[in-house]
Amino acid sequence: MGAPKQKWTAEEEAALRAGVEKYGPGKWRAIQKDSKFGPCLTSRSNVDLKDKWRNMSVSANGLGSARKPLAITGGPGMMTLMEDAVSVLPLAVLPPIDDAQALKRESADTSGDRKSLGSRSGMQYLQTFGGC
Amino acid sequence: MGAPKQKWTAEEEAALRAGVEKYGPGKWRAIQKDSKFGPCLTSRSNVDLKDKWRNMSVSANGLGSARKPLAITGGPGMMTLMEDAVSVLPLAVLPPIDDAQALKRESADTSGDRKSLGSRSGMQYLQTFGGC
DNA sequence: CACTAGGGTTAGGGTTCT
DNA sequence: TAGAACCCTAACCCTAGT
């Protein structure tokens, strides 16, 4: 129907990460409209960006030995609701850079506007976005 | 962020409805300042009240997506989603009481009071606001 | 200049597909 | 079963109009 399912490419992920570095997480629309990585994300909506970031964060999350919901397998198609205490990650919720292939280099570009954000975590813009 | 997201409680909704009954829709500031239900809404701004009323109105009506996939997979996933018994409630400018729409899985609904505030002739105040 | 109306955006739960 | 991609929409933001 509408979406045959479009898998995210490495370039798109890189663009998203660069966008989050520049604007901070939560500024999906701004990231998408950015003249630099925006073009890489023309086929993605702001919601898509948000969803992708969520998925990336989840997989980058190092959860494992904690507590699993301990699902009670009552049978097939059983829906177990898990209203656990969500995550209380006090850590800087930043880039889950966990790429097996580092195919980035050079340091082109530069800024365009660096405003906002900042405050708590001392973070710098070291992410180099090579384009797509 | 300070407020991850503050879901509206049933008490707050009741307070809002009572406020609209008393002052009429659009008088958000007055509702918020009311000595009776105002205290229930201390953590809500006048804009919040307006937004909430809008959402309530939308859900009370069948408005929303004019398109419903209604996928009939029939496969292993026997997920039958309940079709909304869209009630063609009167488009009156008043109370969007959503009783028939209690399909949400409320994790812990403490209150057990089942007071029926059904009479909605649309002329008298619903003094059934029990506070919060 | 405060408030409201309305459009736009984000956050989070849920669903579908792989 | 798990994870990725997408959908739905309540909650929240921005801004023009009054």
B57: three-class secondary structure by DSSP? helix
Cβ neighbours of A1 in B, within 8 Å: 69
Q: What is the pLDDT of residues A12-54, one digit of tens each?
A: 999 999 999 999 999 999 999 999 999 999 999 999 999 999 9
Q: Which fold has domain B10-60?
A: Arc Repressor Mutant, subunit A (1.10.10)
Percentage, residues of chain A above pLDDT 90: 39
| B59 CA vs C10 C1’ separation (Å) | 20
Please give chain B's pLDDT, 132 residues, in tens. 567 899 999 999 999 999 999 999 999 999 999 999 999 999 999 999 999 999 999 887 765 544 444 333 333 333 333 333 333 333 345 555 554 444 333 433 333 333 333 334 444 545 578 888
Q: Strand C and chain B: which residues 9-68 have CB closer than 7 Å?
A: 25-30, 46-47, 50-51
Q: What's the pLDDT score for residue A14?
A: 95
Distance between CA atoms of B60 and B95, rounded to whole angstroms? 9
Q: What's the pLDDT score for residue A61?
A: 65
Q: Where are the domains of chain A?
A: 10-60
Q: What's the pLDDT score for residue B97?
A: 55
CB B23 within 8 A of CB B32: no
Q: What's the pLDDT score for residue B45?
A: 96
CB B88 within 8 A of CB B63: no
Start-to-end CA distance of chain A, whole Å, equals 28
Distance between CA atoms of A59 and A2, rounded to whole angstroms? 27
Strand D contacted by A67 CB (< 7 A): no
DSSP letter for each residue of A33-102: H-TTTGGGGTT--HHHHHHHHHHHHHHHS---SS--------STT-------------S--------S--
Q: What is the pLDDT of residues A57-104, one digit of tens each?
A: 988 766 544 444 433 333 333 333 333 323 333 334 555 554 433 333
